[in-house]
């Protein structure tokens, strides 16, 4: 089963249709998604600002990690859970959204950044735990994190707009990136 036929099947399931057409549920899930973003991105931004040596310079990096990151994880869980429901409500259009695809790419880069930070950069953290200004590697990780999550929030917001939807002819680049040719009824220029 291709992803294409999977999202088509998903969109035809009764619960997906019900969510899409619901008057309140979709809005509630969206509100919870935004609260998840606030919890997640807000707390990760504070940790990144500490890693950059811009704020909380008197607080140990390990304390920011141990005391704040659990809240970031909680926000992430809420964000992903509600995000999956939002995708489930409108699967075909979202799958072919250039903004959604861009968002996934940025999330992937953010994930790799976290992986590198956790398994390489953070290894000698004891040496700079109390440093007002952590080493370049840690600061680079913080800049990447801030940039990627800002990008994720902005591209996520743009999914709601239909400028690049496959229901109308699109420029070649958009057409390829969004996979418009696979959408039944797509009319190229």
Partner 1 sequence: MSFYDFFTGLENTPLGVAIKESTWMFPAIEAVHLLALALLGGAVLLLDLRLLGIGLKAYPASTVEKGVRPWLAIAILTLIGSGVLIGFSETLKLWGKPSFWVKMAALALAIAFTYLVRNPLARRDAGGVGVKAAAVLSMALWLTVALAGRWIGFS
- Interface residues toward partner 1, by CB under 8 A: 27, 30-31, 34-35, 37-46, 49-50, 55-56, 58-60, 63-64, 67-68, 71, 150, 153-154, 157-158, 160-161, 163
Q: How far is the CB of 158 from partner 1 (least distance, A)?
A: 6
**CB-based contacts of 174: which residues, under 8 Å, 6+ apart?**
98, 164, 180
From start to end of 74-176, where are the E strands? none
Identity of the residue, 7 or 29, whose beta carbon is nearer to partner 1 in the bound complex: 29
Nearer to partner 1, 68 or 182 (CB): 68
Report d(CA 92, CA 1) in Å as an integer: 15
Q: How far is CA 40 from CA 34, 66, 129, in A?
A: 10, 15, 23
Whole-angstrom distance between the N-terminal and C-terminal Cα of the chain? 29
Name which of 44 and 178 has its Cβ closer to partner 1: 44
Residues 69 and 145: beta-carbon distance below 8 Å: no
Both tokens assigned to 124:
């000698």
Q: Compute the least distance from the CB of residue 4 to partner 1, in Å.
A: 28
Closer to partner 1 by Cβ: residue 18 or 150: 150
Residue 2 CB, nearest approach to partner 1 (Å) = 32
Q: How far is the CB of 149 from partner 1 (least distance, A)?
A: 8
């Amino acid at each position: 089963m291709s992803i294409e036929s999977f999202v088509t099947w998903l969109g035809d399931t009764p619960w997906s249709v019900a969510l899409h057409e619901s008057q309140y549920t979709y809005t509630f899930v969206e509100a919870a998604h935004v609260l998840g973003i606030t919890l997640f991105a807000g707390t990760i931004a504070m940790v990144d600002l500490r890693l950059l040596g811009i704020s909380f310079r008197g607080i140990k990096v390990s304390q920011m990690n141990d005391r704040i990151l659990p809240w970031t994880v909680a926000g992430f869980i809420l964000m992903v859970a509600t995000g999956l429901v939002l995708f489930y409500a409108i699967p075909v259009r979202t799958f072919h959204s250039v903004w959604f695809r861009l968002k996934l790419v940025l999330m992937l880069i953010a994930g790799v950044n976290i992986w590198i930070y956790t398994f390489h950069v953070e290894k000698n953290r004891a040496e700079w735990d109390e440093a007002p200004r952590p080493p370049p590697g840690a600061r680079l990780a913080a800049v990447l994190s801030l940039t990627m999550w800002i990008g994720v929030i902005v591209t996520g917001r743009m999914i709601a707009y239909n400028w690049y939807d496959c229901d109308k002819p699109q420029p070649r680049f958009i057409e390829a990136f969004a996979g418009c040719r696979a959408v039944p009824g797509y009319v190229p220029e």
